[in-house]
Amino acid sequence: GQNIDQPTEMTATEGAIVQINCTYQTSGFNGLFWYQQHAGEAPTFLSYNVLDGLEEKGRFSSFLSRSKGYSYLLLKELQMKDSASYLCAVMDSNYQLIWGAGTKLIIKP
């Protein structure tokens, strides 16, 4: 079966750095997405990786290793507004998105 694993919840301190991991087992691979979802709101796109390596976008970076079925989202200089759930999703061989359950990130002052 297809499976996306990510931690349920993480806590970090304002101004610090946090890494959210995602491991996947899917039928085929056509890219990995990270979305941010604030409580009670819709998911919004953060990043897309299809080749191995690091993609940097401001305070957020996303890394992919296809051979290991592994990705992480790195958030630097954490701000209170970064408190949200972070969803990992993999596009499978049928171009369907398979979603992880999300990681709830709690930022403390």
Partner 1 sequence: NAGVTQTPKFRVLKTGQSMTLLCAQDMNHEYMYWYRQDPGMGLRLIHYSVGEGTTAKGEVPDGYNVSRLKKQNFLLGLESAAPSQTSVYFCASSQREGAYNEQFFGPGTRLTVL
Token readout for 78 is 């954490």
CB of 49 to partner 1, least distance (A): 11
Q: List b or e across 17-40, with b for residues whose CB sees 16 or more CB atoms inside 10 angstroms.
A: ebebebbbebeeeeebbbbbeeee
CB of 42 to partner 1, least distance (A): 4
Interacting residues toward partner 1 by CB under 8 A: 4, 8, 30-31, 33, 41-45, 48, 50, 87, 89, 91, 95-102
> Cβ closer to partner 1: 12 or 22?
22
> Cβ closer to partner 1: 38 or 59?
38
3-state SS, residue 82: helix
